[in-house]
Homo-oligomer: A and B are copies of this chain.
Amino acid sequence: MRIGIVAPSTPILPDDAEAVRVLASLGYPDVELVFDPQCFAVHGHFAGEDGHRFAALVEMANRPDVDAVWFARGGYGACRIAEEAVAAMTDAARGKAFLGYSDQGNLLAALYRDGFDHVAHGPMVADIRRDGGDAAVLRALDWLVARDPAACEPGLEHGARHAAFNLMTLSMLLGTPLEPDLAGHVLIVEEVSEYLYAFDRALFHVANYLGPRGLAGLRLGRVSDIPENDRPFGLEAEDIAREWCARTGIPWLGRADIGHDAANKVVPFGLHRAG
């Protein structure tokens, strides 16, 4: 099996790629990781210019000798190429798994919208840098290689459709050509490095936008690295999520085991079949 790695947003370091390669070779000696050199390109904020990131992503997705596409890292930039990249993907890309989170939610959304069947929110190559990052990387491989149910978020419901996003990333793609139809879905969101007022604002947006479109429910992953504001917001993240669910008629379904951390579990998009 061959897993292709590209960086549609920001670059990774060659040392991190090497560490992940070593880890993969121990756990999955038959799996080959193919890092596109674009993963290490630097152009301002981005892992190469839009055209470079676009070309690397589309080429990897369409390669007949690559079985899955793993996103290297988040950051920012995928929304600049996602619509055109998915439109340029061929049938060769459709059978593959695509795995990532954070800013790669733009691509997960666009792929899922376009009917791709193996799109999942979960760890990326750059998670190797976290405390306990080995476990995150191996969990990603467990899912990419073997669809191991133990890699998946434990609260996924058999027979229910799911999707997972970084909240801000989702907020910023609603109403754009990247937005998938989330009607009937259990939506799981997580957030990192946002003030609680910004978290509240983004949930105001997402809940008011998606509530009338018939979500099956909302679950909240971890909300981490919240900056301290000059005065406390007055509500905690879970209170905020419960409130916006109540105000917009979205069933509140509790917490979820995803987040910007090494414990981040995999959430495959679409219908979940247990066992």
Among B44, B79, B202, B235, the residue within 8 A (CB) of A204 is B79
A residues contacting B by CB (< 8 A) are 42-46, 75-77, 79-80, 171-177, 196-198, 200-202, 204-205, 208-209, 229, 231-235
Q: Which residues of B contact A205 (CB under 8 A)?
A: 171-176
Q: Which residue of B lies closest to A209 (CB)?
A: B175
Q: Which residues of B contact A171 (CB under 8 A)?
A: 171-172, 205
* A176 in contact with B208 given A76-B201, A197-B76 (CB within 8 Å): yes
**Cβ contact within 8 Å between B233 and A44:** yes
* A232 in contact with B45 given A79-B201, A79-B204, A201-B79 (CB within 8 Å): yes
In the complex the two chains form, what is the Cα distance from A200 to B79 in whole Å?
A: 10
Report the minimal beta-carbon distance from A9 to chain B, rounded to whole angstroms: 9
In the complex the two chains form, what is the Cα distance from A201 to B80 in whole Å?
A: 9
Report the minimal beta-carbon distance from A208 to chain B, rounded to whole angstroms: 4
Q: Which residues of B contact A234 (CB under 8 A)?
A: 43-46
**Cβ contact within 8 Å between A44 and B231:** yes
Q: Which residues of B contact A208 (CB under 8 A)?
A: 175-177
Report the minimal beta-carbon distance from A122 to chain B, rounded to whole angstroms: 22
* A233 in contact with B45 given A172-B204, A197-B76, A204-B80 (CB within 8 Å): yes
Among A43, A176, A200, which residue has the most Cβ atoms of chain B within 10 A? A176
Report the minimal beta-carbon distance from A42 to chain B, rounded to whole angstroms: 8
* A44 in contact with B177 given A172-B202, A201-B76, A205-B172 (CB within 8 Å): no
* A200 in contact with B231 given A173-B205, A209-B175 (CB within 8 Å): no
Report the minimal beta-carbon distance from A104 to chain B, rounded to whole angstroms: 14
Report the minimal beta-carbon distance from A173 to chain B, rounded to whole angstroms: 7
**Cβ contact within 8 Å between B197 and A172:** no
In the complex the two chains form, what is the Cα distance from A234 to B231 in whole Å?
A: 34
Report the minimal beta-carbon distance from A96 to chain B, rounded to whole angstroms: 26
Question: Top 10 closest A-B pairs, CB basis?
Answer: A44-B234, A176-B208, A76-B197, A175-B209, A172-B205, A45-B233, A79-B204, A175-B175, A172-B201, A44-B233
In the complex the two chains form, what is the Cα distance from A92 to B176 in whole Å?
A: 38
In the complex the two chains form, what is the Cα distance from A124 to B171 in whole Å?
A: 28
